[in-house]
Chain A
Amino acid sequence: MNLHEYQARDILRRHGIPVPPEEVGETPEQVRAIAQRLGGRVVVKAQVHAGGRGKAGGVKLAKDPVEAGEHAARILGMSIKGLVVRRVLVAPAAEIASESYVGIIVDRAAQRPVLMVSPAGGIDIEEVAAQTPEKIHRLAVDPRYGLLAHQSLGLALKLYRDMPQARAAGDIMQRLYAAFYAVGASLMEINPLVTTPDGAVAALDAKIVIDDNELDRHPEIAALRDPSDEAPSEVQARKAGLTFIKLEGSVGCCVNGAGLAMATMDLVKYYGGEPANFLDIGGSSNPQKVVDALRIITADPSVRSILFNIFGGITRCDDVANGIVQATQQFPLTVALVIRLTGTNEALAIQILTQAGFSALTDMDEAVKQAVAKARAEGRAA
């Protein structure tokens, strides 16, 4: 789960990392008033879950409250990578002497949290990694002992020659590492970590991604979720216990298991179609999940055919068949349905479907071919 910058700054501040104060506004009037309180010269920043906010015109410096209000009027409602800006963060404009980068990720190859620092701050770290990889310093932390003091100071000295500044940066790294485990993050970034002309070190921007699997044990973090930044269909799916990702194609897919769901999408493409979504109904499926899944898929106007691909293991084919029948009793299907199921209780499932007037296939390739052909035929008719 992605956090907004203002939420991330708040978490860092609560862990003792120096972050300038900020307030969040939803109207130009609010922003003008906030700017007034913060001393006039402020930065106005769009709060959306997208990188490249600055390049998109979503981050602006204002010399006074009136200009802050004008910037807010332009930024609020603007769309950045398809996401509409509903809130802006307003913070005092800082005098910056230098910008660097500090981040922590869980490195899959090292199987440990890895601290990354770079004196090239203020730009996307992936860009730094691609163009000047020598400017990134990495340290895999042994989670048994945590980040040791000499390690953080050693990394800080790659950023600052001045010892008091290096000590301050080392302390920030210690606090960032503690915060990482405390909130269950999978990524934390301070970019930029700045020095001001008077020598202070502070975090001017923060990005935090939380491991979804941690949300149950951190209800206060789970409460920070912003559903307006997700497609409504994805919010609906999450509530129904389904994993759903909206895509741009016309073949709606309903599959059990994430790997098979991906392979099904790939096969749709292989046979010349485009998948409309990724949808995994999960392992121990009950008919209701299938009903919910069909409701979500059919709500997408670009769907021209629906493909079921079920390999019954724990998932019982008859559960899925019953779900399909129940769904079609609750709402009409206006597009073609192609059903492939094989495995646990396959014969029973086929019997249930046949009685309800559906036919079912057992071969995956054949089913995908038919679903693609039907989507194409419907597309021409529409």
Chain B
Amino acid sequence: MSVFVDQETRLLVQGITGRDGSFHTRQMIGYGTKVVAGVTPGKGGQVFDGVVPVFDTVADAVRETRANASVIYVPAAVAASAIFEAADAGIALIVCITEGIPVLDVTRVLPYLHEHGARLVGPNCPGLISPSKSKVGIIPGNICRPGRIGVVSRSGTLTYEIVHQLSTHGLGQSTCIGIGGDPLIGTSFIHCLSAFQADSETDAVVMIGEIGGTGEQQAAEFVQTGMTKPVVGFIAGQTAPPGRRMGHAGAIISGSSGTAAEKMAAFSRAGISVMKRPADVVPLLQERL
């Protein structure tokens, strides 16, 4: 078992013929993910790289291929529309890599997903990977190793840095999930922590947060009351000035709230081991395992 994706994941790629979509589709197929269909309106009937059938609509793709998950690489202006379409076609797991979706679009997308019983990971996220089983998104497969650590993060490359530290020290991962750097996201820290708590292949969790919002504080409360597995946490942005967006649309200290100090204190109070720097992840995990 792993979290959200596994060998049974039948993946559909929205935007498969685009620059990013085609590159990462090849990477995912190379990793062993079952990519069963692609969608690009106007290119239905083509076959991507001679192996993946392309459809005009998600509904066609689902009917023909029984795809049960979708990954989205379309431009920001049409990304919300792509999410709506996937949910409407009955896709249960929708992973949106696209960065730059207007937040007000997401306010409309989220209730729709809820009504359709679909899970959205992202937007503005690197996706997820269950090492040696399935990869949905853009996390480089070569830095991951199969193992028993769950990783959940708001970031991309910072996650790779920390996963790389884990892998080189023999701590493999059960699943790594990038939940995204936007202010509104479909899958929260709590959703992932709760899935890791229930997952028999996960022994401990690394949670990587950053400034902005209160997702980490709420997650800390959940860890305290709802988790028995050890959790190690990091917060990026200790030196970030207030009121400035630090690259991610959601990484902003508003007034005096959402600071790294506040989040690290919440972690400590909840019994989460707090990393001062990425290199602390291995020793802290070893202490807790």
B86-115 residues at the A interface, CB under 8 angstroms: 100-104, 106-108, 110-111
Residues of A within 8 A of B208 (CB): 259
Residue numbers in A under 8 Å from B100 (CB-CB): 213
B154 within 8 Å of A (CB atoms): yes
Q: Is the CB of B103 within 8 A of A260?
A: no
Q: Which residues 244-281 in A have Cβ within 8 Å of B in the complex?
A: 245, 247, 255-263, 265-270, 275, 278, 280
Per the 8 Å Cβ criterion, residues 273-287 of B in contact with A are 276-279
Please state if A106 and B183 are interface contacts (CB–CB under 8 Å): yes
Q: Which of B126, B160, B249, B276 counts the most A-chain CB atoms under 10 A from its CB? A: B160
B241:A111 contact, CB within 8 angstroms: no
A259 to B248, CA, bound (A): 8
B25 to chain A: closest CB distance in Å? 14
- Interface: B153 (CB within 8 A): yes
* Distance to closest chain A CB from B71 (angstroms): 14
B77 touches A217 (CB 8 A): yes
For B64, what are the chain A residues with a Cβ–Cβ distance below 8 Å?
Answer: none
Asked whether B111 lies within 8 Å of A313 as measured between CB atoms, the reply is: no
Q: How large is the interface on B (under 10, 10 to 19, 20 to 34, 35 or more residues)?
A: 35 or more
**Is the C-beta of A118 less than 8 angstroms from some C-beta in chain B?**
no
In the bound assembly, the distance between CA atoms of A211 and B279 in angstroms comes to 35
User: Which residues on the B side are within 8 Å of A268 (C-beta)?
Assistant: 239
Once bound together, how far apart are the Cα atoms of A268 and B239, in whole Å?
A: 9
Do B278 and A364 have beta carbons less than 8 Å apart? yes
User: Which A residues lie within 8 Å of B103 (CB)?
Assistant: 106, 186, 211, 213
* Other-chain contact of B138, A143, A312, A313 (Cβ < 8 Å): A313
Docked Cα-Cα span, A29 to B77, in Å, equals 45
Q: How far is the CA of A275 from the CA of B140 in the complex (A)?
A: 28
B6 at the A interface (CB under 8 A): no
Q: Is the CB of B164 within 8 A of A311?
A: yes
Contact A263 B236 (CB under 8 A): yes
CB-CB under 8 A for A245 and B214, given A217-B77, A278-B246 = no
**Which residues 194-246 in A have Cβ within 8 Å of B in the complex?**
211-214, 216-217, 243, 245
Cβ–Cβ < 8 Å partners of A270 in chain B: 276-277
Question: Considering only CB atoms and an 8 Å cut-off, how many residues of chain A contact the other chain?
Answer: 53
How far does the alpha carbon of A245 sit from the alpha carbon of B104 in the complex, in Å?
Answer: 25
Report B282 CB to chain A, min CB distance, Å. Answer: 12
Contact A213 B76 (CB under 8 A): yes
In the complex the two chains form, what is the Cα distance from A358 to B9 in whole Å? 45
Is the CB–CB distance between B158 and A257 below 8 Å?
yes
Q: Restricting to A14-72, which residues have a CB under 8 Å from any CB of B?
A: none
Within the complex, the shortest CB–CB distance from A82 to chain B, in Å, comes to 12
Contacts A213-B100, A213-B249 hold; do A259 and B159 have CB atoms under 8 A apart?
yes
B214 and A343 contacting across the interface, CB-CB below 8 Å: no
A314 to B160 alpha-carbon distance, docked (Å): 11
A378 within 8 A of B: no
Contact code string B238-261 (vs A, CB < 8 Å = 1, else 0): 111100111111110001100010
Are A258 and B155 CB-contacts (below 8 A) given A213-B249, A216-B77? Answer: yes
**A217-B77, A313-B139 as given contacts; A263 in contact with B104, CB under 8 Å:** no
- The answer to the question of B152 belonging to the interface, with a C-beta cut-off of 8 Å to chain A, is no
| A50, chain B: closest CB distance, angstroms | 10
A161 at the interface (CB under 8 A from B): no
**Residue A342 CB within 8 A of the other chain:** yes
Q: Judge whether B247 and A261 touch: CB under 8 Å.
A: yes
**A259 contacts B154, CB within 8 Å?**
yes
Considering the complex, give the chain A residue whose CB is closest to the CB of B181: A258
The answer on a CB contact under 8 Å between B239 and A265 is yes
Tell me the bound Cα distance from A217 to B110 in angstroms.
21
By a CB distance below 8 angstroms, the chain B residues around A214 are 102, 104
The answer to whether B104 touches A259 (Cβ under 8 A) is no
A181 lies within 8 A of chain B by Cβ: yes
Q: Is A300 an interface residue (CB 8 A)?
A: no
Q: Are B102 and A184 in contact (CB under 8 A)?
A: yes
Give the Cβ gap from B115 to chain A, nearest Cβ, in Å. 9
A181 (CB) vs chain B CBs: closest residue: B104
B211 proximal to A (CB < 8 A): yes
Cα of A380 to Cα of B231 in the assembled complex, Å: 43
* B143 on interface, CB distance cutoff 8 Å: yes
Please name all residues of chain A whose beta carbon is closer than 8 Å to the beta carbon of B237 when the two chains form the complex.
262, 266
User: In the bound complex, do residue A108 and residue B104 qualify as a contact, i.e. CB atoms below 8 Å apart?
Assistant: no
A92 close to B (CB within 8 Å): no
Closest CB-CB distance, A112 to chain B, in whole Å?
Answer: 6
Q: Are B101 and A213 in contact (CB under 8 A)?
A: yes
B225 at the interface (CB under 8 A from A): no
How near does chain B come to A349, taking the closest CB pair, in angstroms? 15
- Whether A111 touches B277, Cβ cut-off 8 Å, given contacts A181-B104, A311-B164, is no
A211 in contact with B111 (CB, 8 Å): no
B76 engages A109 (CB within 8 Å): no
Residue of B nearest to A2 (CB): B243
Q: Tell me which residues across on chain B come within 8 A of A266, comparing CB atoms.
A: 236-239, 260, 277
Chain A residues positioned under 8 Å from B158 (CB to CB): 257, 259-260, 262-263
- State whether B156 touches A342 (Cβ < 8 A): no
Not counting A108-B184, A143-B104, A267-B278, a sample of 19 additional A-B residue pairs whose C-beta atoms are within 8 angstroms of each other reads: A113-B107, A181-B104, A214-B102, A214-B104, A247-B239, A257-B156, A258-B246, A258-B248, A259-B154, A259-B155, A259-B159, A259-B248, A260-B161, A262-B236, A268-B239, A275-B239, A278-B246, A314-B138, A365-B279
User: Taking beta carbons and an 8 Å cutoff, which residues of A are in contact with B?
Assistant: 106, 108-109, 111-113, 126, 142-144, 180-181, 184, 186, 211-214, 216-217, 243, 245, 247, 255-263, 265-270, 275, 278, 280, 283-284, 311-315, 342-344, 364-365
Question: What are 30 sample pairs from A and B whose C-beta atoms fall under 8 A apart?
Answer: A106-B107, A108-B183, A108-B213, A111-B107, A126-B256, A144-B111, A211-B103, A213-B100, A213-B249, A214-B102, A216-B76, A243-B247, A245-B241, A247-B241, A259-B247, A259-B248, A260-B161, A261-B247, A263-B236, A263-B277, A266-B237, A266-B239, A266-B260, A267-B278, A270-B277, A278-B247, A280-B247, A313-B160, A314-B138, A364-B278
